[in-house]
Amino acid sequence: MRWGSQLLSSCWVLLSLSLGACSSTPQATSPPQPEAASALSPEDQALVAFAKVYGYVRWFYPGDEAFEADWWTRFAVEGAGRMLQVHDTQQLRPALEAAFAPLAHNLKFYADGEPHPFTPLPSDTGGLQVVAWQHYGAGLGEIDRLYKSLRLNREAAVKDPGAGMITQFVDAKPYRGMRIQLRGALRVQQKQADDTRGHLYLNVMANRRSIQLLKMEEHPVRRPDWQVYEIEATVADEAERIVFGVFMRGAGSLGADDLELRVAPAGSDQWRRVTIPNAGFEQDARTIAGWTQGSRAHRFWLDTQEPHAGKQSLAITPLALPQGPLFAEHAMPGDVLDLRLADTLHAFMPLALYSDARSTLPRLATAPYQPPALPANFQSYGDERVRIAAAVVAWNAFQHFYPYFDVVQTDWNAELPKLLAAARQAADAEAMQRVLQRLVHAAHDGHGRVTLGGAPKQPYGELPLAIGWIEGRAVVTQTLVPQNVQVGDVIVKIDGVATEALARDEDALLSGSPQWRRLWAGRLGGGDPAVAKRLDIERGSRHLQVELKPERRTPMPDQPRAHVEQLRPDIWYVDLRTTPMDEIRAHLDTLAAAKGVIFDLRGYPKDNHEILRHLLREPEQTQWMFVPKITRPDRDWPAGFDGMGWNLQPAQPHIGGRVAFLTDERAISYAESVMGYVEGLKLGEIVGSPTAGTNGNIRQFGLPGGLGLAFTGMRVLKHDGTQLHGIGVLPTVAVMPTIVGIREGRDEVLEVALRGLVPAAPR
């Protein structure tokens, strides 16, 4: 076979292979160029260059040698170590070539004045296939329930999907010293011989760690017929939380039904049930109501085929791997990336290659490189290389997959050298978490967060208070210690530091819209539960000092209002935060006959968005969610987006009276999906304040060293096509709580809606 020019000679060959869209000319992707690279030290230039090339190679280089190297974390750590040995600019190119040549031998580095590199392409492409990356949203090279990545004409990259787990938890305090038992009916359908195992799961916890963990490891469920199993633990005196549920491992499926949690006094068999929601999985829901799904690599659904009891049971199975292209568009041989890395140094990389039956072409002439063995603790954040590696992966995930840089206007390239410098100075995991939190802050993503793996090194608790920023002051809105701190108290200082200053420090570690950050900046005064905090308080004209110890778990008391309540003879109230759809259905005829209905969505819905159908008069097919179809790096997305919506149909009975929705910054994500319909289709007045301004499925993944990172992986717009991100759904009747109203125990937002001061919007 003869190797030809860089240009693709003809398009019809690829069309005959049904491999998707193609172009008659090569496309060179030129990302934003670095500013004043010479202002950085040689080490810093090397780290910045390595970071950028790492992202290009990991998620966009099509060659088999990169894909088959299943050691990206080790490579990031080892590569960071190489770059730290670069002490002058002449060493940069050899260091990069030594690091990347084994992973991407078609990646070339060249200097100004040198001949432009090229990747030789076969002149005869008969029988060859195109290999190129496709990412459906933030796939990050993997597969989950929505976001996916694959290389054309290669099997999807999926590791062992791990445990498909679904759980709930209860407060352990009422059951301390008692026996606790989890019972349930399980069955397993095997896909491969003796491969799939089912388990009950019972975890008694304190201070975020397991005291007693039972999960049927020695005797997992393998039978295909329904059988009832049980596991039992003792609730320790220090226990704070009991987590329970089921999980599976393997390629088949697990069925679960009729779960029961029960307790008995020590030494007694007098069992009594602990009430848990949706124990028999009988609630129809978009999600499995009441349960937390603990895997992105599994499907959880309600199975109506031969349940153990009732009309349906829970089923869990690993996600099926995608077959064929994720979408039509993809890079073509001849499409290249040409990037300036430093003052005179460039990188040149193909985005698509041809492949024969053996491998991508041209083939690697030497054996694939393996990184040197690293110490057993090579993922400790005490190691500078590990901190750099975590920063490199985090920055690249946003750089190539975050869909909102067009509206947040952050110079992400400028963030990279600052991030790397801060990572080098971080002393431990907690310090590295703060470094990455500041990075995520710059992305302005309310879903953005950085989590520590495992239990924190030091005990941690929070004040037994809920604090809101009202009229610019830190006001207590709920309290578990009313004898010391009352609702309506203004907290002026904590340990001598003004709460405004504490909130500013906290804000720098938070991401999202101003209203969302303001909500979370109210979590002040956390720390060691053994050390009391001194609070300076204003209570009317009085100035007080009290001491409170943070508590490891501070559940706020439930709001006293009923789920569904008649406020006046012709006005009804529905709390969408606490009321499942099954309970709402029982009241639909009453709501439809009412002159007015107030829906409370100052928080997260209870999987009850079906209520929107009872407000519609005609079907809707608005597309407001958009998943990017990614074929090129640096958010150069010529393939565009895949649009979708809920496509709701009207349902009877129709709620035709006047309608108001209460909302505020606590309404985020799914809540904003609901409020988007209210705003876009004018389904009622919106009373309160703007929602959080963050919506779209979250992408979570692990970083070198064990920290976890999350961000929004799709773009969500308002129903009229305008921006939602960072703005939120805006009220038609703006109402903010006041300090006086909080002190008096009034719900001022509800009061305004109830009075009906503004006529309802026509529907």
CA atoms within 13 A on the CB side of 184: 33
How far from the centroid of its chain's Cα atoms is residue 141's Cα?
Answer: 16
In a domain, 197, yes or no: yes
Residues composing the chain: 763
Report CA dihedral (402, 407, 412, 418) to the nearest 10 degrees. -110
Q: Is the pLDDT at 437 greater than 70, yes or no?
A: yes
User: How many other CB atoms are there within 10 angstroms of residue 180's CB atom?
Assistant: 25
In a domain, 407, yes or no: no
Task: Give the separation between CA 491 and CA 469, rounded to whole angstroms.
Answer: 10
> Rounded mean pLDDT of 97-119?
91
Of 522, 548, 574, the domain-final residue: 548
Amino acid at 362: P
In a domain, 137, yes or no: yes
Of 301, 318, 335, the domain-final residue: 318
Residue 150 and residue 114 in one domain: yes
- pLDDT of res. 366: 67
Q: pLDDT digits over 466-502, tens only?
A: 999 999 999 999 999 999 999 999 999 999 999 999 9
In a domain, 621, yes or no: no
In a domain, 231, yes or no: yes
Greater model confidence, 460 or 738: 738
Residue 699 and residue 744 in one domain: yes
Q: pLDDT digits over 623-667, tens only?
A: 999 999 999 999 999 999 999 999 999 999 999 999 999 999 999
Residue 587 and residue 718 in one domain: yes
What CATH code is carried by the domain that includes residue 655?
Answer: 3.90.226.10
- pLDDT of res. 390: 96
> Rounded mean pLDDT of 390-410?
96
In a domain, 497, yes or no: yes
Q: Is the pLDDT at 16 greater than 50, yes or no?
A: no
What CATH code is carried by the domain that includes residue 184?
Answer: 2.60.120
Residue 14 and residue 108 in one domain: yes
**Nearest CA among 564, 536, 428 for reference residue 474:** 536
Note whether 439 and 508 are within 8 A (CB). no
User: How many other CB atoms are there within 10 angstroms of residue 637's CB atom?
Assistant: 17
Residue written as tokens 């309600």? 302
The model carries a pTM of 0.84
- pLDDT of res. 22: 37
Note whether 185 and 257 are within 8 A (CB). yes
What CATH code is carried by the domain that includes residue 470?
Answer: 2.30.42.10
Residues in contact with 465: Cβ distance below 8 Å, sequence separation at least 6, in sequence order: 476, 478, 479, 480, 481, 485, 525, 548, 554
| 447 token code pair | 């879903």
* CB burial readout 298-325, b (16+ within 10 A) else e: bebebbeeebbeeebbbbbbbbeebeeb
Residue 591 and residue 483 in one domain: no
Q: pLDDT digits over 329-373, tens only?
A: 999 999 999 999 988 999 999 999 999 998 899 887 766 666 666
Residue 300 and residue 333 in one domain: no
Residue 234 and residue 255 in one domain: yes
In a domain, 290, yes or no: yes
> 407 exposed, middle or buried (CB, 10 Å; 0-12, 13-18, 19+)?
middle
Eight-state DSSP code of residue 611: G
Is residue 292 helix, strand or coil? strand
Q: At 25, is the pLDDT very low, low, confident or very high (cuts 50, 70, 90)?
A: very low
Greater model confidence, 286 or 447: 447
Is residue 520 helix, strand or coil? helix
H-type alpha helices, 471-546 = 499-507, 514-520
Residue 261 and residue 226 in one domain: yes
Greater model confidence, 39 or 122: 122
**Nearest CA among 23, 24, 20, 13 for reference residue 127:** 13
Residue 239 and residue 117 in one domain: no
Of 490, 513, 548, the domain-final residue: 548
**Stretch among 19-28, 402-411, 448-457, 460-469 having the lowest mean pLDDT:** 19-28
Residue 606 and residue 691 in one domain: yes
Percent of the chain with pLDDT over 70: 88
What is the full DSSP assignment across 687-724?
EES------S-EEEEE-TTS-EEEEE-SEEB-TTS-B-
- pLDDT of res. 288: 85
**Stretch among 98-112, 188-202, 297-311, 538-552 having the lowest mean pLDDT:** 188-202
Find the domain containing 521 and state its range. Answer: 465-548
In a domain, 667, yes or no: yes
> 103 exposed, middle or buried (CB, 10 Å; 0-12, 13-18, 19+)?
buried
Residue 254 and residue 345 in one domain: no
Number of domains in the chain: 4
Q: At 69, is the pLDDT very low, low, confident or very high (cuts 50, 70, 90)?
A: low
- pLDDT of res. 561: 77
| Cα dist from 399 to 26, 49, 138, 395, 416, whole Å | 23, 14, 11, 6, 10
H-type alpha helices, 307-459 = 384-401, 405-408, 412-425, 429-443
Task: Give the separation between CA 364 and CA 361, rounded to whole angstroms.
Answer: 8
* CB burial readout 661-687, b (16+ within 10 A) else e: bbbbbbbbbebbbbbbbbbbbebbbbb
Residue 190 and residue 135 in one domain: no
